[in-house]
Structure 1
Amino acid sequence: MKGNNWLTYCLMFWIVISFGQTNSLPLADYLISIQEQFDVKFSYAVDDVANINIPQPERELNLQQTLQHLNANTLLNFKTIDSRYITVSVLEKTISICGTLVSKETNEALIGASVIIDNTYQGTSTNYNGEFNLTEIPLKATLSISYLGYQTLKISAKTLFNNQQSCPTIALTEDNQMLTEVLITKYLTTGLQKFIDGSIVLNTEEFGNLPGLIEPDILQSIQALPGVESVNESIANINVRGGTNDQNLILWDGIKMYHSGHFFGLISAYNPNLTNKVIVTKNGTSSQYSDGVSSTISMYTKDKIEDTFSGGAGVNLISADAFLEIPVSKKLALHISGRRSITDVISTPTYDNYFERSFQDSDININSNIENSTTSSDFVFYDFTAKLLFDLNKKHRFRANIIGINNNLDYAETITDSDNTTTSKTSNLAQDNLGYGGHWKAQWTKNFSTDVSGNYSRYTVDASDLRVQTEQRLTQANEVLETSIQVKTNYSFTPFLNFLNGYQFNEIGILNETTVTAPSYSRTKKDVLLNHALFTQIEYHKDNTFLRIGLRGNYFQKFDKLLIEPRITARQKLSNQWALKLEGEFKNQSATQIVDFQDDFLGVENRRWILADNNTIPISTSKQASFGVDYSKHNLNIDINGFYKTVDGITASNQGFYNNFQYLSATGSYTAKGIEFLANKTTDKFSTWLSYTYSINNYTFESFTPSVFPNNVDIRHSISLAINYSIIKNLELSLGGIWHSGQPYTKPLEANPTIEINNNYYVNYDQPNIQNVDDFLRLDASLGYTYDFNNTTNISLKAGVRNLSNEDNVINRYYQVDPEDSNNTIEVNNLSLGLTPNVSLRVNF
């Protein structure tokens, strides 16, 4: 008897300890006690009441009051059938939930993590305390909680609602295969993040507004970063820390791309709707990447097989597009996207401005001034992507990709002579970049994985130009073929230490061909280069220290040449606010573009790819180092970097000189050094930033006089200022401006502006690049609104204006011999886009 009493007291003590402190008890146990107390019977499914805790009543209740208490504190409906039986059913209604996300390893709050309702476009992100709130969501909803560097967590809304804590703490586990964590989760705008290794990540699905943009144009967006310029406001001519556009390595799911823009550089050629993220690295590049002596821009498409069919479509004043994510089975899915210009169907002010900007200095505008002549042009562009995703099991994943980019220009001339005889001729310019890729990733153990990929890229530009005045036809072709195979192994010694090794093989062939009639002339040049590379890299990140050290060895079989390239990235946190960072790299590049003013494609495209021959065209090599300081407090981030970069092996034909060196052959180098500053203040409602870049960029060509002179893209001062503001829910405004000093140019000698050589007159230039055009200024604005029809469908309307004040910015200036007076010259100014509005309408489902 005493034993039973002791057991009873112990049981009562345990109940008090277990439930007394929280004032709640399991619903299943509470229902049993009610049945015994009031002699009733509940009818319910066990799963409906499992894992539910209910507040314990503060006073004794009768049966009716007890049922009211149950209905008020659960998502269940307790209904009396008769005096004895009571049914229990699940309510079909919405709930409100909240929570706090932390790291399981460090217990630190995870800022900017995504909390998305599965199979919908609804969701939110955590604030600076790691907290989130969601209201009016379905009871049966499942949440996907994700954060870069951590494993995605699936959790039911019902589980969170039934938790005995009002806002429970949720811990995410680090992903050992992704040690490079997010440092700043909202960098300039939503969807832009900064990794701890210094690279910038653009998440297109969550991307907010940037001034003047109506969609997350990938290559336009990265120009908001300090140190990234476009001296002629073209995404086909992005200059990173003083480099030329061809010095940027552009990868799309590992496929090297040789063409980047529609409308000859004004619109990014990469559809953002299936591009999941874009990583931009200016220095300290991972050793797995070669080429691109100025930067690496790596784009990744969505890589997850979803359960539901989804997609979207949109149209703006330039193009229309659509994308689909098609789940074939739980292991197989297909992602497709396509975009095409609509300007051959409807003409818009946006198209007119783009056309004028693209072709202002081409044969199209020049020939239109011929007497008794008429011209017409038809310009069309399109791009498409497709990706096949197959998960054999949890350890083996296979992917296959294809991407296609096309620009096509048809140009017709008609001339009527004095005898009323009409002659019509047609010219054409076509640009294509087609890429294929295959990928197999295997997770053999928890700590060891392999990655095998093969890629093929083909770029062609073909032009056929028939001049009615001379009856001469000029045909040109530039073709690049590249095949690449890469094998990588990844081993995690600990959650903080990762070891990467790999081998890469590249075969690249480049063809240049020119054919002329009347008189007959033909030139064909084809080169092939094989490159074998081994790379290794170790990455460590724990507490306040991040360190990545890599080494890459490149062997060029044709030249029997070996290049060793060390890489390093380090960041040391000194306190909660301050951190120091160091980056450095050696890189090389064997394929570059030359600028040929005499042998261009209709005057529209004058760049063509060529391959290094280790003689007159050497392999370009770069050395770069940078040191910086980070400061972060109260949602204010300040980033200061000093950099020094030197690039050897550039050619005069690669730079596009408008001076006395225009037709000379020589090799040289350039040196860029400067300081980048960025201050970014963010809150839940707005984000504002100010960036400033000061740099000095000089050429060195020993065979020229002078041998040292300013680079063509020597922009000494550059400032960007902008603000994004959420006016109300789903309505966002973005305003901003860009100012930078003018591009260098070369004037003719005032006393003797032209010079005669072999009965031909040429411009007689003064000292190279000692003058600058007027400063560049552009103000942009955009406004976006999203309306949610339901949990799975929304519609967005965005409007943007570039060059709001309609500034006449000169982006390039050069001189020509006056055709009416060979002793004088004519100044030619290329202008930027004028005031250009654009509007887009999108539906996502």
Structure 2
Amino acid sequence: MNRTKYVSLVVLLFLSLNAVAQIQKQLPLVQLLQDLEAKFDVKFSYKLDDVDNILVEEPEGNTALKAIISALNETTLLNFKFLTARYITISTIEKTISICGVLKTTDNIPLYGASVYVEGQLKGTVTNEEGHFKLEAVPVDATIKMSFLGFKTQTLLAKTLWAKDHCETVVMPIESEWLNKIVISKFLTTGLQQRIEGSTQLNTAKFGILPGLTEPDVLQSIQALPGVESLNESIAHINVRGGTNDQNLMLWDGIKMYHSGHFFGLISAYNPYLTDKVIVTKNGTSSAYSDGVSSTINMFTKDEVTEELSGGFGANLIHADAFLEIPFSDKIALHISGRRSFTDVLNSPTYDNYFQRSFQDSEVATNPDPVQEQRSDSEFYFYDYSAKLLFDLNTKHHFRAHVIGISNNLDYEEGYTNTSNQSLSKASRLKQENLGFGGHWEALWSDKFQTNLRAYYSQYNVDATDYRSETDQQLIQTNEVLETGLKFHGHLKLHENLTSFSGYQFTETGILNGTSVSNPAYSRTKKDVLLNHAMFTELEWQSKQLYLRGGVRMNYFQKFNKLLVEPRLNLRYQFLKDIALKVQGEFKNQSATQIIDFQDDFLGVENRRWILADEQSIPISESQQAALGFQYKRKGFVADVEGFYKTVEGITVSNQGFYNNFQYLNAIGSYTVKGVEVLLNKTANRFSTWASYTYSVNNYKFETLNPSVFPNNADIRHSVSFAFNYDLFKNFKLAFGGIWRSGQPYTTPLETNQTVQNGNTTYVNYDTPNNNNLRDFMRLDASLNYKFKINDALYSSVKIGVLNLLDRKNVIQQYYEVDPNNENAAIAIQNTALGLTPNISVRCNF
């Protein structure tokens, strides 16, 4: 009996579940309306757009028509109304609705930090830790886009996400890309992400706000990362883990760039509004890249053929810019951008501060004689432009061609009367340009095999002319770099988790240096060319717990018959749920470096010139670097600790910019830096805050000098940065932060004998090199960002930024000259950083 009851109960439960499943079966509303018209001999009047893509529950077979209509009125955003017993109208009843959803991967893992926005409007949000999002007052006919790096963007109608009694789950398929995945989607601020191999990716379109900035300046923004800073506040002189600026490999769409800054380093030369992403790698570099013994900064422009015309324009107190994305068809598009300063027409307070900072203690801003009366006229401006042609032959073959141009121009004329009533004058001209062309073909031959062929040409020129009427002498200086490159590589998926990568690269680099003087006549020109052939290969393994990439690069320098073998290693192991171990190592080389001959080279503004290794007085620089670290990540909090050791051999005295007794000597040496970087970061929906600390010890070693070991010019023992971003309102953001670091080393004269005479020339007699330190550097910055909508197609933003809120005088360089009034004494020359510098930016995008 009990068994019979049990069987009966199971049968009843099965029938009940089956009935429930039948009731909950869904079908398209359009199909239901057609079925009802046939079954009940009625006619529905409606717009197809109103009923399309709506799913409803299928009614039971014996349900009356009026009951069905009543249920549809309750469960949809539509109004069903009987005009007669046979004719029924359907119309929308809501203009705006509340929507919600939950974004998950195909493995049912919630996506935290994904972007959800209403297309064509300034309305959006990001998902929380459970992948959940909610938006209020969304037009019922709006289109909702959901995106997350590494996943395919999903597009749904708002009415399909209507927040009824539950929120729909949206599955985000993985993008079929050959890219390393993101492990931290919101790193420091929106748009900064950390990749699994340890590099940092900046997505400019989604970039949030950083203290002091009014634009998503590519090279200013990366200084928020620990171990990356500029000792002299110039983005043209970024120091990564104690390296010099010329030790950073700078790539723009695969084109090697030899110049990076406008206003001689205070503004990035790369327009951020067509730059899609920037990847910064400090260690564990892929074997596909060489040069840049300190870091690789890889910039990529937008690479998608869109269906609609879009663009934007804007201006701040220094320059104006515009960009356009022009689709010609679904296969061809053109992206163009341009930017130009208006500093030759209008001088703003921001410009005045920048000019004073850039040209202090230069030939432009100083006179050799006491001045009784002075007249000057200067014209300074810069511009940059870029263009990219995109052609998608089909879904598997993509062709791209691009060009970039960067220019800084200075004309300065000065007339003055000295104390002897002599009318004197000088004219100075300086032009600095970098022009690049490139193209590549990307081919996806199968789901397992992909190739990429790339070629580029890069030309860098700096030309300076300085004419002085009192001596009737004209000095002309030139530095030119010409480089062509060809690169081919292929990816092969050997297994679901294993990818192989191999390729070949050819590079030809030619560098010219010239100096010409008119009175007395003197001319010297030197040109060198170097050919480099490289083969590279690596294997990459990715699983849920382990990421491992190992490779080797072989560089052959034809001129020297020299082969350099460079192993690379990058490992990340998630040995606990929230804790990961990181190990990185690399060998790299660099054949082109910058030297500083004299302080007044190129008017003292850009006194660095590129030069090629000759394996005699200037060897090929070689670096070895290793790092070990741990990362803890849980619910928007990240703690990252990484220790590193780096040594760079083959540096010369001439490329270090010494102001001591060694500055006119020839010597080859090395530097070794070791330290630890600590980063704490907490992000949430409305705020982000972080603090970083770097401790390092950085020393030179020159065997032929005495002393042979002394502190590096970039020996910054302690460096701290912090920031706090907060969304005060939906479209109003605030950022506040600062930098503190110990002062960099400098050399003082010998107290007992400050000068020394050699023939008719008197020199400063320096003490032990880098025996003192400047005062600590400290700066507080703040920014505000307000976005607003002008109409359905045009939206705008206003950003206000202030650098150095406290107007603190920070000395960034100190050296000495012989006192013109007393040959036995030396006087200190100090260069200072920017003072209180406000800026404002207004932009419109469509």
Identify the range of structure 1 (191-200 vs 126-135) with the bigger mean alpha-carbon deviation. 126-135
Structure 2: which amino acid aligns with 1:266?
L
- In the alignment, what sits opposite 1:280? 280
Contact between 2:749 and 2:765, CA under 8 Å: does it hold in 1? Answer: yes
Q: Which amino acid aligns with 1:687?
A: S
Once residues 714 and 226 of structure 1 are traced to their aligned partners in structure 2, the CA distance between those partners, rounded to angstroms, is 15
Is the Cα–Cα contact under 8 Å of residues 176 and 495 in structure 1 kept in the other structure?
A: no
2:19 counterpart (16, 19, 34): 16
Would you say the 8 A contact 1:731–1:785 is kept in 2? yes
Pairwise CA distance, 1:157: 1.4
User: Take 1:45 and 1:838, find their aligned partners in 2: how far apart are those partners?
Assistant: 51
- TM superposition shift of 1:155: 3.0
Q: CA deviation at 1:67?
A: 4.0
Q: Does 1:80 align with 2:82?
A: yes
Cross-structure match for 1:52:
54
Instruction: Say whether the 8 Å CA contact 1:179–1:498 is kept in structure 2.
Output: no
CA deviations over 1:409-428 (Å, ceiling 9, x no partner): 10102245899885554220
| Equivalent-residue separation in structure 1 for 2:657 and 2:798 (angstroms) | 41
Letter in 1 for 2:609: R
Superimposed CA distance per residue, residues 789-816 of structure 1 (whole angstroms, 9 cap, x where no aligned partner) = 3443211011011000011111011000
CA contact (8 A) 2:413 2:427 kept: yes
Q: How does 1:281-680 map to 2 (within 5 A)?
A: 281-367=281-367, 370-416=371-417, 424-597=425-598, 600-680=601-681
Q: Given the superposition, is the C-alpha separation of residues 26 and 208 from structure 1 closer, same or farther in structure 2, using an over 3 Å criterion? A: closer
Q: What's 1:227 paired with?
A: 227
Contact 2:362 2:600 (8 Å CA) reproduced: no
Alignment of 1:147-158 (within 5 A): 147-150=148-151, 152-157=152-157
Q: Which residue of 2 aligns with 1:3?
A: none
CA shift for structure 1 position 651 = 0.5
State whether residues 424 and 470 of structure 2, in contact with CA within 8 Å, keep that contact through their aligned partners in structure 1.
no
CA contact (8 A) 1:96 1:135 kept: yes
Equivalent pair of 1:797/1:840 in contact (CA under 8 Å): yes
Q: TM-score, normalised by structure 2?
A: 0.94
Corresponding residue for residue 755 of structure 2? 754
Structure 1 unaligned regions, length at least 5: 1-8
Q: Which residue is 1:103 aligned to?
A: 105
Take 1:442 and 1:258, find their aligned partners in 2: how far apart are those partners?
29
CA spacing shift, 1:716–1:446, aligned 2, 3 Å: same
Give the structure 2 partner of residue 265 of structure 1. Answer: 265
CA distance in 2, matches of 1:788, 1:65: 44
Q: Deviation of residue 127 (structure 1)?
A: 1.9
Cα separation, partners in 2 of 1:355 and 1:93, compared to 1, 3 Å: same
Q: For residues 392-442 of structure 1, give each alpha carbon's deviation from its aligned partner in whole angstroms, at most 9, with x where no partner exists.
A: 111111111111110001010224589988555422000000001101101
Tell whether the 8 Å contact from 2:201 to 2:279 is kept in structure 1 after alignment. yes
In structure 1, what is the Cα distance between the partners aligned to 2:782 and 2:158?
Answer: 42
1:829 maps to amino acid = Q
Distance change in 2, residues 1:312/1:410 (3 Å): same
Query: Counterparts of 2:778 and 2:427 in 1: how far apart (Å)?
Result: 39
Q: Secondary structure, in 3 states, of the residue corresponding to 1:366?
A: coil
CA distance in 2, matches of 1:326, 1:498: 36
SS at match of 1:264: helix
Contact 2:372 2:419 in 1 (8 A): no
Residue 381 and residue 721 in structure 1: after superposition, are their counterparts in 2 closer, same or farther (change >3 A)? same
Distance in 1 (alpha carbons) for counterparts of 2:698 and 2:296? 20
Aligned twin of 1:4: none
Counterparts of 1:487 and 1:33, CA distance in 2: 59
CA positional deviation for 1:131:
1.9
Q: Distance in 1 between matches of 2:143 and 2:448?
A: 29
Who is 2:711 aligned against?
710
- Superposed displacement of residue 337, structure 1: 0.7
Which residue is 2:8 aligned to? none
Q: More displaced, 118-127 or 835-844?
A: 118-127
Alpha carbons 2:660, 2:747 under 8 Å: kept = yes
SS of the residue aligned with 1:367?
A: coil
Contact 2:802 2:838 in 1 (8 A): yes
Question: CA 1:142 to 1:450, structure 2 compared with 1: closer, same or farther past 3 Å?
Answer: farther
Task: Give the Cα separation in 2 of the matches to 1:308 and 1:37.
Answer: 44
Residue pair 1:142, 1:154 contacting (<8 A) in 2 also: no
Aligned to 2:146: 145
Whole-angstrom distance in 2 between the partners of 1:381 and 1:450: 38
- Distance in 2 between the 1:844 and 1:374 partners? 43
**Cα 1:162–1:12, aligned 2, differ >3 Å: closer, same or farther?**
farther
Amino acid paired to 1:374: R
Task: Give the root-mean-square deviation of aligned CA atoms.
Answer: 2.6
Letter in 2 for 1:273: Y
Find the residue that maps to 2:399 and give its secondary structure: strand
Residue 721 in structure 1 maps to residue 729 in structure 2: no
SS in 2 for 1:231: coil
Q: Which residue in 2 is equivalent to 1:698?
A: 699
1:253 and 2:256 correspond: no
Counterpart amino acid of 1:496? N
Letter in 1 for 2:531: L
Q: 1:501 to 1:791 in 2, by over 3 A?
A: farther
Change (3 A) 1:515 1:30: closer
Describe the shift of the 1:409–1:10 C-alpha distance in structure 2 as closer, same or farther (beyond 3 A): same
* Aligned equivalents of 2:165, 2:509: Cα separation in 1: 61
8 Å contact kept, 2:98–2:137: yes
Question: Is 1:202 matched up with 2:202?
Answer: yes
Alignment check: 8 A CA contact 1:780 1:804 kept:
yes
The answer to whether the 8 A contact 2:100-2:162 is kept is no
Q: Conserved in 2, the CA contact under 8 Å of 1:53 and 1:163? A: no
> What is the DSSP-based 3-state SS (H/G/I as helix, E as strand, rest coil) of the residue aligned with 1:290?
coil
What displacement does 1:344 show? 1.6
Deviation at 1:232, TM superposition (A): 0.7
Deviations 1:220-255 (Å, cap 9, x if unpaired)?
111111101111111111000000000000100001
State the shift of 1:94 in Å: 4.0
Aligned length: 834
- Out of 336-345 and 473-482, give the one that drifted further: 336-345
Q: Which amino acid letter does the alignment assign opposite residue 16 of structure 1?
A: A
Moved more, 413-422 or 606-615: 413-422
- Cα pair distance change 1:159/1:673, threshold 3 Å: same
1:692 Cα deviation from its structure 2 partner: 0.2
Task: Give the C-alpha shift of residue 697 in structure 1.
Answer: 0.2
After superposing the two structures, state which structure 1 stretch, 570-579 or 289-298, moved more.
570-579
CA–CA distance in structure 1, aligned partners of residues 112 and 762 of structure 2:
65
Q: CA deviation at 1:31?
A: 4.4
Superposition deviation, residue 164 in structure 1: 9.5
The alpha carbon displacement at 1:36 in A equals 7.9
CA distance in 2, matches of 1:376, 1:185: 50
Partner residue in 2 for 1:6: none
CA distance 1:10–1:86, change in 2 (3 Å): farther
SS in 2 for 1:363: coil
Indicate how the Cα distance of structure 1 residues 34 and 395 shifts in structure 2: closer, same or farther if over 3 A, else same: closer
- In the alignment, the residues of structure 2 paired with residue 587 and residue 111 of structure 1 have an alpha-carbon distance, to the nearest angstrom, of 36
Secondary structure, aligned partner of 1:213: coil
1:80 Cα shift?
Answer: 3.2
TM-score (norm 1): 0.94
Q: Is the 8 A contact 2:238 2:244 kept in 1?
A: yes
Counterpart Cα distance in 2 of 1:294 and 1:505: 22
By how many angstroms is 1:722 displaced? 1.1
- Shift of residue 23, structure 1, vs aligned partner: 8.3
Q: Aligned in 2, Cα 1:51/1:507: closer, same or farther, shift over 3 Å? A: same
The amino acid that maps onto 2:269 is A
Asked if the contact 2:331/2:392 (under 8 Å) is kept, the reply is: yes
